[in-house]
Amino acid sequence: MAYRKAAFRKPGQAGWLYSLVTGVIALIYFFPVLWMILTAFKTRSDALAIPPKLFFTPTLDNFKSVFFRDTQAGDAVATGFVQYFVNSAFIGGSSVILALIIGTLAAYAFSRYPLKGNDTYMFIILTTRMLPPIVVIIPIFLMFRVTGLSGSYIGIILLYTAFNLPFSIWMMKSFFDDLNPEIEDSARLDGSNDWKVFFRICLPQVLAGLAATAVFALILTWNEFLFALLLTGSDTRTVPVAMANTIGGEIGVDWGLLSAIVSLFLIPVFIVTFVLQKQLLRGVTFGTIRK
Amino acid sequence: MADLNTSGAGAVSGAGSVAKSGGLLAWLNAPERRGPLLVAPALITLFVMNIFPLLWSFGLSFFNYRANRLTVPSFKGLDNYEKVLTDPVVWERFQTTGIIVGASVTLQLIFGFLLALLFAKTFPLRRILLMLVLAPMMLSFVSVAIFFKLFYDPTLGLLSWAIGLFTGEPFILLATPAGSIAAIVIADAWMWSPFVMLLVLAGLVSVPTYLYEAAEIDRASPWRRFRTITFPYIKSLLLLALLFRTIETFKLFDLSFLITGGGPGASTETVAIYAYRLGFQFFRTSQASALAYLILFVVIVLTSIYLYIVNRRNEEG
Amino acid sequence: MSGISLKSITKQFGDLTAVDAVTFDVADDEVLCLLGPSGCGKTTTLRMIAGLENATDGEIYLSGQDMTHLPARARNVAMAFQFYALYPNLTVSDNLAYPLHAEGDSTADIAAKLRDIAQVLQMDHVLDRFPHQLSEGEKQRVAVGRCIIRRPNCFLFDEPLSRLDVQLREEMRSDIKKVLSGLSRPTVIVTHDQLEAMTMGDRIAVMRDGKVEQIGAPQDVFNNPANIFVAGFIGTPQMNLVGGIVSGIGGAIAVSIGQDVIELTGELAQPGHGLKLGDAVTLGMRPRSASLESESGQGILSGTCELIEPMGAETLLRIAHPAGQIRAIVTDRQGLKEGGTIHVRFAQGSYRLFHADGNRIGDMV
């Protein structure tokens, strides 16, 4: 990374000293997460030590015991968390794929074939995303109880599909709106029908946006707590609910173990934050702010 | 505007060869039905999973339905709304929520703004450091609640230990109502300051360099430069951040629910948690629905203002 | 009937009439330039020919067939867009071959046509690149190539050169002209640049506010503008347009401009234009037909020299005359100084006379 002497630096450019200062501030800000990760590598006694230990010999025991529990016979038995991680991934993945297919088609229509009252539809769709979960959770809970969907995969996947749909529509519409319409006109003149224009010309141009939308939706679903708390059963429980149950324990929390679970849970989120830094603004504002 | 781009093409093909072949597929494929056809699956899903439940709960709010009783609910008109609106507990919860929203959003704006200033330059390792600062808002509420529960823990938490070094006594932040509210506010502000930062940063980097160069030539003072050049670019984004965060924080549920459980007493119980308790612990389903609708009303109003500003900003280019 | 034929084509966007009853024909091997200021409806007209915009009223015939209500893809027209509209996810060769797939060409045919086009436009070296790796000039070539690779009913160009720098523009102008002349297909080029229109068009249609003001060969439009708008729009520097009063209709027509009197000879001098004494008219003179005189007199305009602008070989003079500013181009600027009095004479036969309603009086001079 080339940088110039301070005396002749372009405005808005800074050197390593600045990095150092910013680094310290960033680390302080990041400290709660860091502390949790450190705790995950501590033995039980290190985790409980007072004063808290910043330096210690790390151990992977906590990570092992997330997935396996030693029985008295000395066998390693899988804990429920394997299932919970699989559930989170499966439920999240299926609902995001569904929401993305339905949402992308709708977004394309909202962008290219505006209906009467297009803006009103878009507003209502955004509102369904902005509304507090508590408003819909009561009837959905009743609905699921009546239809027997409560505690099933289908139920929670459907719900998360609807939960991800407004986000997907707004995001994808913002990507479609960014495209140059001349390119589609040109494809029509070159003899393509509307379907070919969509699949061959439009879709390839928004692939990066599609990927970003998918990943953001995945994270939102991965993190979701309240719906999962009320609508998953013991077989379909996701990680956030399982984690929350762990802190609810009365006999004192096993912080090392809990930290290990949280750390594992965070890995995908960090990767995504790093990779999608450019799309982050659009992602966290549902595509309403692009730049 | 729409007419000027591609939609015209769809309209033209109306009398084209496509529709002539007949059959259901051809009928569906007609250009004038393209928009509705593509939108239909999304609208149906949203209707079934969102709008219908909303209408149902709207209906419920006029009855005296209780989810754990078998008696046939009877129509009560606006009773539930009257009950909710005159219930002093509801107003207390709104107050609690208001305090948390006010304190947290203010802190978010301040820290988000300062962080954005810090990252408005380019410097080595910026991308990685930026990730560290942005990460909190991508985390789940449950993880954040767990961090701060560990942090606030009276026996092994860093906070109690650090304060104990000075006072010599164990410090329990979550023991007092004020302390508990502070605990929630700190956690929420920590989590969402990056959001404000991201928006402000977008404004800061969008200021064209030549404006700063011109200001340099015109010997503008740093304050004047900020007020006349920088601020206009971040003004609308700050407002949007304020609104967006107000909407989101107003719905605050998870952090309070997990860190303090709404306590001690009901000092950190937000309206969302109260509605949850009404519905799922006291089983006063109809009353909970009425309260939920009050929350929804506030959210809809704030969302429309938000979108109004977004649209105005987009039109300005 | 062949080529392109528009019959009273109209386009309305809500209350706004963007194109108002435009009628013209383009012959099989003819290039027509639609020229006009921005917002005059020229691009909308082009998009209606392409089928990208639905005409509110009127008829469009391509190769003798009524295509008014056909969608773009059924019209077999080729169009080069202002921003090139290259498919960003396809390589240059795939971009060029894209329209051929719709025509059902065989792979071998496509390869052969690609080779031809690449050779004609000299872009063998960029065939495997993606659009974002191309320079502006190369993008322009690909856009043109994608048009001419097939045998469409007509070619349409929307501001084809507006994004190129001056030098490249000149080069592409002659290249496109050369290529088009070999294809003998009706072509419509939309431009706001009169130089482009003059050089590339066999005919020019000057548009304003959705209407065609004049249509004709470039030289004809330049020499005999149909009205004041066309007169002022075509030619740099702009034609002088000064208001005057008819002060004599015996023998020759005399026009008073301020204190000066111009007597018109030739065709304009003939009676029968219906002019009466005291009629308000506008006289138009091209700055290049001016010559300097030493003193005022009949047929000479006198005023104060406001500004002397050297333009290399020539010098542009701005003269303050009681009837308005007059521009004159002279080759010799010896002895001129700003603030001094200047007398100019415009060559007889270079005068154009316009009615108060803006229309030109008389035909050729």
C51 to chain A: nearest residue by CA? A189
B52 & B98 share domain: no
Cβ–Cβ gap A190/C83 under 8 Å: no
* Minimal CA separation from A167 to chain B, in Å: 12
The stretch C210-236 carries a mean pLDDT of 91
Cβ–Cβ gap A109/B39 under 8 Å: yes
pLDDT digits (tens, 9 = 90+) for C7-60: 999 999 888 999 999 999 999 889 999 999 988 999 999 999 998 888 999 999
pLDDT digits (tens, 9 = 90+) for C321-347: 888 899 999 887 777 888 888 899 998
Residues 6+ apart with CB under 8 A from A119: none
Kindly tell me if the per-residue pLDDT of B144 is higher than 80: yes
Q: In chain A, what percentage of residues exceed pLDDT 90?
A: 15
User: Binning pLDDT at 50, 70 and 90, where does residue A248 land?
Assistant: low
Q: Structural domain boundaries of chain A?
A: 6-78, 80-284
B54 & B163 share domain: no
Which residues in A lie closer than 8 A to residue B296 (C-beta atoms)? 131-132, 135
Q: Structural domain boundaries of chain C?
A: 4-223, 240-361
| Interatomic CA distance for residues C207 and C21, integer angstroms | 12
For testing contact with chain A, the best of C87, C113, C142, C162 (most A CBs within 10 A): C87
DSSP string covering C25-42: EE-TT-EEEEE-STTSSH
pLDDT digits (tens, 9 = 90+) for C107-148: 888 899 899 888 888 888 899 999 999 998 889 889 988 888
A34 with A226: CB under 8 angstroms? Answer: no
Position B108 scores a pLDDT of 94
Kindly tell me if the per-residue pLDDT of A105 is higher than 90: yes
Kindly tell me if the per-residue pLDDT of B146 is higher than 90: no
Strand C16-26 relative to strand C341-346, pairing: unpaired
| Cβ–Cβ contact A185 with C under 8 A | yes
Position A69 scores a pLDDT of 72
C53 with C47: CB under 8 angstroms? Answer: yes
The residue among C163, C171, C160 whose CA lies nearest residue C78 is C160
Residues 73-92 of C with CB under 8 A from B: 74
Cβ–Cβ gap B15/C13 under 8 Å: no
Identify the three-state secondary structure at position B269: coil
Higher pLDDT, C102 or B188: B188
Kindly tell me if the per-residue pLDDT of B292 is higher than 90: no
Please report where in the chains the tokens 């003819």 appear, as a residue. Answer: C30
Position B13 scores a pLDDT of 41
- Please give the CATH number for the structural domain made up of C4-223: 3.40.50.300
For testing contact with chain B, the best of A4, A13, A134 (most B CBs within 10 A): A134
B12 & B144 share domain: no
Question: B176-199 burial, b if ≥16 CB within 10 A, otherwise e?
Answer: ebebbbbbbbbbbbbbbbbbbbbb
Look up the domain containing B56 and give its range.
2-60
Neighbours of chain A (3+ CB pairs under 8 A): B, C
DSSP designation for C347: P
| Interatomic CA distance for residues A219 and C213, integer angstroms | 61
Mean pLDDT is lowest, of B159-168, B192-201, B285-294, for B159-168
Position B299 scores a pLDDT of 87
User: Binning pLDDT at 50, 70 and 90, where does residue C206 land?
Assistant: very high
Structure tokens at C99: 């329209």
How many contacts (CB atoms, under 8 Å) link A and B?
310
Position C364 scores a pLDDT of 39
| Interatomic CA distance for residues C187 and C202, integer angstroms | 10
Q: What is the CATH number of the domain that holds B112?
A: 1.10.3720.10
| Cβ–Cβ contact A270 with B under 8 A | yes
Q: How distant is the alpha carbon of residue C112 from its chain centre? A: 36
Identify the three-state secondary structure at position B218: coil
Structure tokens at C364: 């050729």
C203 with C32: CB under 8 angstroms? Answer: yes
B167 & B55 share domain: no
Which residues in C lie closer than 8 A to residue A185 (C-beta atoms)? 47, 50, 52, 72, 79, 81, 85
The stretch C218-229 carries a mean pLDDT of 91
User: Binning pLDDT at 50, 70 and 90, where does residue B30 land?
Assistant: confident
| Cβ–Cβ contact A205 with C under 8 A | yes
C240-361 under CATH 2.40.50.140, yes or no: yes
C68 with C59: CB under 8 angstroms? Answer: yes
Mean pLDDT is lowest, of A243-257, B79-93, B189-203, C196-210, for A243-257
| Interatomic CA distance for residues A263 and A39, integer angstroms | 10
| Interatomic CA distance for residues B31 and B42, integer angstroms | 19
Position B216 scores a pLDDT of 72
Residue B305 lies in a domain: yes
Strand C154-158 relative to strand C187-191, pairing: parallel
| Interatomic CA distance for residues C291 and C303, integer angstroms | 14
The stretch A154-173 carries a mean pLDDT of 91
B54 & B92 share domain: no
Q: If you classify domain A80-284 with CATH, what class do you get?
A: mainly alpha
C187 with C155: CB under 8 angstroms? Answer: yes
Kindly tell me if the per-residue pLDDT of B113 is higher than 90: yes
User: Binning pLDDT at 50, 70 and 90, where does residue B10 land?
Assistant: very low
Position B14 scores a pLDDT of 40
How many contacts (CB atoms, under 8 Å) link A and C?
61
The stretch B90-103 carries a mean pLDDT of 90
Mean pLDDT is lowest, of A151-165, A175-189, A271-285, B207-221, for B207-221
Q: What's the total number of domains in chain B? A: 2
User: Which residue from B45, B147, B289 is facing A165, i.e. has the nearest CB?
Assistant: B45
Mean pLDDT is lowest, of A66-75, B248-257, B258-267, C216-225, for A66-75
User: Binning pLDDT at 50, 70 and 90, where does residue A131 land?
Assistant: confident
The residue among A61, A26, A25, A12 whose CA lies nearest residue A40 is A61
The stretch B65-80 carries a mean pLDDT of 75
Which residues in B lie closer than 8 A to residue A253 (C-beta atoms)? 149
Position A13 scores a pLDDT of 73
* Minimal CA separation from A73 to chain B, in Å: 33
| Cβ–Cβ contact B2 with C under 8 A | no
Mean pLDDT is lowest, of B79-83, C44-48, C174-178, for B79-83
| Interatomic CA distance for residues C68 and C84, integer angstroms | 25
Position C363 scores a pLDDT of 58
DSSP designation for C205: E
Give the end of a domain, one of B33, B60, B87. Answer: B60
Please report where in the chains the tokens 């035909």 appear, as a residue. Answer: C363
Neighbours of chain B (3+ CB pairs under 8 A): A, C
C150 to chain A: nearest residue by CA? A190
Question: C312-351 burial, b if ≥16 CB within 10 A, otherwise e?
Answer: eeebbbbbebebeebbbbbeeeeeeeeeeebbbbbebeeb
User: Which residue from B6, B8, B15 is facing C69, i.e. has the nearest CB?
Assistant: B15
B20 & B139 share domain: no
The residue among C243, A247, A185, C239 whose CA lies nearest residue B255 is A247
Cβ-in-10-Å burial (0-12, 13-18, 19+) of A72 comes to exposed
| Interatomic CA distance for residues A274 and B206, integer angstroms | 21
Q: How distant is the alpha carbon of residue A289 from its chain centre? A: 19
Higher pLDDT, B212 or C256: C256
C97 to chain A: nearest residue by CA? A190
B36 & B94 share domain: no
Position B4 scores a pLDDT of 38
Position B11 scores a pLDDT of 40
Cβ–Cβ gap C71/B16 under 8 Å: yes
B216 & B276 share domain: yes
The residue among C25, C16, C1 whose CA lies nearest residue C56 is C16
User: Which residue from C52, C69, C70 is facing B8, i.e. has the nearest CB?
Assistant: C52
Work out the angle at residue C341's Cα, subtended by the Cα atoms of residues C335 and C346, and round it to the nearest 5 degrees: 90
